[in-house]
Structure 1
């Protein structure tokens, strides 16, 4: 092999090593963020990590139509509702669909949904349809905008700088 070929191979190996080092640094940065975020979430949800998972699945299911560009339409509250929902039209879900989405046992999901209802973060209609409450949207939407989203964006900027 010529000296030029060897130098090219050494340069490629050094570039691969540098890329791996950078990726490890970015992975560590993201892992630190994730652990901090999990600890905060754990504390905010009575140290029960399943509660935010279920609340998030229900909210994402309810709000899914918004992602597809469909607007909410006003609906009249149903007088037969056990716990009236926000007046916006949300896509309903139930304990069975949430159990399927999360892979958690249906009985566990049913029990945890009961706790989310007690906390006022989920409303259940008489037909079993589940909706995220306006209180939960306000509380956790505010937290996301005030703390988690800016922190995540700052970490993304830092990761981009590391990768340049």
Structure 2
């Protein structure tokens, strides 16, 4: 004999419906964003992932107030092309194909191949020692793209999610 199924309280059912609606709104936003990145990067979805990881490695230290060398001057982003980030004077934190492969969980050979493409596009500069740095070209191109349309869509999505969550509480 099976136990009788008890009805879920109305409040829990309502909360579950709202959470499903919020998840759907967020999924729509993510899919639109992925489609856009897919097209911008010539239908190679790994390129924006790798470019983003390299940028996070490089710039993350600046955002956290940590520079490669203790300095009282404000860190300067390199000028490109070509990248004017001499190893001893660069305030960006370097990374390499190995660290990016570890961060993404992608095979090193795949990462190496994709990095070659990013270098060809002028979005990444590779030093002779293998250190990778994002270029100003990439920062300008994708920074403007992110700040314009994507930010507005993100804020709109967040507002929609807040309204749905507010309806559940009210």
How would you bin the TM-score normalised by the shorter chain?
0.7 to 0.9
The answer to which structure has the higher helix fraction is: 1
- The answer to whether 1:44 aligns with 2:28 is no
Match for residue 102 of structure 1? Answer: 104
- The answer to whether 1:25 aligns with 2:21 is yes
Normalising by structure 2, what TM-score?
0.81
- The answer to whether 1:121 aligns with 2:123 is yes
CA offsets per residue over residues 109-163 of structure 1, 9 Å max, x none?
0000000000000001111100001000000010010011111011101100110
Normalising by structure 1, what TM-score?
0.84
Aligned positions, number:
150
1-structure distance, mates of 2:94, 2:84: 11
> For structure 1, which runs of at least 5 residues remain unmatched after alignment?
1-8, 78-82
Of structures 1 and 2, the one with the larger relative CO (CA 8 A, separation 6+) is 2
> For structure 2, which runs of at least 5 residues remain unmatched after alignment?
1-5, 68-73
RMSD over equivalenced CA pairs, Å: 2.3
Is the contact made by 1:123 and 1:130 (CA closer than 8 Å) also made in structure 2? Answer: yes
Is the contact made by 1:22 and 1:162 (CA closer than 8 Å) also made in structure 2? Answer: yes
Is the contact made by 2:78 and 2:136 (CA closer than 8 Å) also made in structure 1? Answer: no
Is the contact made by 1:54 and 1:98 (CA closer than 8 Å) also made in structure 2? Answer: yes
